[in-house]
Structure 1
């Protein structure tokens, strides 16, 4: 024991304990008059037999992100007010991957006291044990962020114990008490130490299966609740969305709600992902966000789905808030909210928002699909009109000769008239046919005259003999006795057919098969059914609805139904993919009002605004600019249609014996030239691209280059796709600046979305 006497002063520092033993440094002793005295070795500290120290943990086998309560209980049979300059070291709290937070003692002010623990000030609860002394206890909540074992070195306590009664009533606050202050000059003390083992805690890694982007970093059972204030607003007015997670002791260690959870509010609302207020107590944590309705007519804020890990069941679970009822009214004539980030309000045409899908299950083909089919199979259509003209040219010449030579025309019509009249009187029709076909008068239709005409036309002699036999049979039937056997000859219909084949060449039959049938759906489920199921789940279970929307969107894109694909991406919260799909739908259906309104909603939701490009004005320039945005399929199909129409008019006019007017030829040529010029112009222009996720635009193709803008660009930004270098895309933005974007964040607006 080291005593402090009235005629001397001692200055000493207590050193840390090594392996549970307390080492004291040298004590410098000086006289009152200031003269130096030789240093003396201070006595070694003794174990504190009158005290007891115990460490308890709530879990010895835990998982990452699971809270563990560490409770330290210090019991003493001597008054705690005799302890000075306390040093309490708890290595368990020094883990590098731990989130450590002291817990509230939960007792009145009179029973609270401050302690130094690991160099930190901690408020503990103290109580008197009747007949056994005093007790101090404090707790920490630790959250392991990495798997492995936690430090298990013993807890060590060191202090100076005053001999005899201690001074009282001179410590006005928690952290200005006897534990923080040293002994007075007139107090004698001895150094004591105390250590206690710490239970070993093992932390296992969280399973990767079942974990989603909605995981909140909470590994305990919680509940969630959401509120919104006010509930009745105009479009674009701010609302406060408060999300409260109850049953968690994480407190400030729960940083924020994952952004995908905030996306559950749906496309009708914009939520700033940065909370404006955070509050927490022992068992609750709440975040307040600014939310704005994008369009009028909204009535419900969908449920928010959060994911946590249940360490008891050892699986991930979902907790959902209840849907909230709101009323969003139009702000005058404005029904769509478009944030103004440039200081100038942009004008957006009023729209009702995203409308329903287009039913693509039928076999009906509209004008857009017909033009697209012509463009796809144009290489088949281009050679057909000339070939058809070569085939039909003899028929055209025969028609012209028929108009000039009535006898020739009557001969060509002979077979048709025979088939029509043979039903009532085949014998008379046979003779009329021979007269018209061989240009003979009705009274001159005898075998002699018929055979002479047939030989003049080079008919096979066997056929002439069959015709003679037919004449003989008719004469025998007319003049011979009834019982006389008459030689049978080929029927008249057969002879007419043989004569027709022998006297003129047959026309080639051209069959043009131009049917456009959709691909069989196969085993893929109907995307319409998937979309409808997702719409049913969107309000109550948005986390389950989002994968269904994405699945439906991919199937719609594979089938070329880009309007439906855009709607699916929109409700899945993927504005960039939705904008790309709507742009493709607009190029294929430039006059569809639903597509234009959907594009207006998407562009109003964009977080990044660039200066609007200069308008081409009005008149021909605006018309040409609008026409150039049509899909190449539509313009190519229109060019093929004009080409086929021109040939059809030409062939029809030749059949009618007329000439095509020169004005019609010039008009058709101008239309075809305009379509061809627009296709050539589009081929020389760079394709358009869309940003499908947040990315940093850089001045070069690599992360080592400086950023091109002060902040990252968000999804749904449109740009010109100038080229690609490995994993980077060179882009030109609406403000005229060029930068490089990661290729994984970009999507080219082509005829097929990847």
Structure 2
């Protein structure tokens, strides 16, 4: 069949059209439309936006239009459609968004284009226009707002009443008049209730509505007509002088114009059942059963704007206004309560302020505490507005104040000023002063937190050592915010084993150098040197024979003994070296002849040359023996030294590694999980490096402010230290595990008067770095300062373990590490030096180095061996009585009491409760917020 050119062209055109149609069908499209082009004021018009055939698109946004209320209506609807025409299948999916548009005034409105990003491209709709007209209300609906006063002050409560009159609808065909309940249900959702909306929401939550009564009212012609009257009451508090503002109040009623019967298969059974002409609505059908009922066939919106009675709002006078006045109008009382009432200077006191009155409690502001000189003279007060909680006619405020110094005896009365609209005067009321006790600040007692002297001199003597003091230094470098992996702590083991590996490597290298076939072995060189320096032929033969004997394991040193000619030649022949044995025998015979004065064929120099040549042959020959003189000989002193090195490596490296390796979460050893302490870790874990650096800088700055604050203002110092601790804690909660950061946090807690939390963080620092000198020192000093009686009792005890613990508690493990490292290096050098350069000096040097090494290892590890209690938690509260069972409803056991900073072993957990054991063996339950859990 032959295809003509026009036919081919037509086919191509059809294919292009089909291809284009397919492309358009699969491209994302948007289209907007309105349910009507004409509307009544207050009656909603529906706006639809359809997004078709898109794989992805943004949420569409509608721009606001003056005079229109535009609200989203429900969730978007999604649909899919498949059509097949002439065998071609077309799939179409769409998403439709719906908005309710309510015109609030007459006029023509334009909804601007809607822009939506569809499949990566921005699409927009055409603008939509519609007109809104006002439906004539006639005498069908009236609304009016009235108030009880004609003149009020700004902020004064004003009760208002919305009166609404609706003319009952009467259907002449069915001779039915709708009830007041029916007419209330006809109020449109487009109604804007203004300031009365909150009251209607309260009624709706209780399944209630305003009740209507039938009354007579004059219509616009002055004739009395029957109306349903509804009253809605609300109280407002004017915020500005002038006329009252009731909001955009507009009432819309879908007033019926025609009723008709509904279709019901059971209608014949209830044909005459109209409930006496009065019946309740059921979804705009007037029967709960919808059987042969009447429904609204047609309606029109009736809109009424409420008339507001003139009420003047007067501004609060300026004359006589107190300095602490904050706009409160009405009648009020103020009370205060503080917890605790016995504190140290700088410690926080929680101050509760309660204000009760008859005004708008949500608008009542707290007294300006930071501006009250009678309060700020003795207390540090935060200069920030307080947020309150309204409970009925009372508003509660909570803040924190800090006494600046010791000796303060009371929190002064807090004034509250308000304007009394009845007397038109300002009134100031005051709370009752609160008695408190303020002791010396914990920070001021840091100078007394000292350790025992570094020696055992008698106190009071001239030889007594200067006691150690608390080290308040912090780490400000970027290294403090870099996590230290526990796995990296195994480098302690590698560093501890390094000297032993060096000694082993040196010994192996020396032994390899002294192997049988090595021409560079020490015995080979020594024999060649002996031959070179020989004064007579006898010495040449003796050196050669001795070397050959050693090669066959017959000696320990090149000059230990002289082997006979027959012995060495026999060994050579036995080893299969017949020619070499003949040359050696000939040389030895010549040396013997020369030694006894017999004539020989060679001179002494010739004999040396021959002996040297034989030595070269011997170095290349495989004799099958082992040259013990070439092997490294380790004497008993060197053996002891090597053993000490290995033991030291095990004592320092292995315990450190095991100490880190055994650090498993507490929950692995418990039947139930411990509830984690909440610090918003999910949010903090997302901190960037720059944010962490900023937090560290801010924390360090706050800490330095606390350090430089004068002792006369302990509140400022304590607040600065608390801020520093909070920021350090944020860094820790973000996931940073760093011993220096823990020390910073612990130092801040000590300075802020929280020694229990400080001890816990010193312990965490030592978990990561057991030889952190500052952490160890400050931990011991904080413990001794917190429990001086326990330290004194330990010092006075006679038991060897208590005495050893007391003595070593004043020696930092880092001192032992330094001593052990120095002795270790010396011992390693001595052993290696003795291998390559034999000398008595090396052997004797190992004795003092070994002694110092053992002392250093003891000092570095004695604190581990003297621990009799496994520390898993630290008490963070001042005093806590353990309970016999988990729960607040179980009584506390006064005989089992723990104090702040005391270490506990966690046995098991039950929700937020932990069963713990004290060092004395007491067992009980304690709530988790009262302790700091360690990562052990």
* TM-score range for the pair, normalised by the shorter chain length: 0.3 to 0.5
The structure whose RCO (Cα within 8 Å, separation 6+) is larger is 1
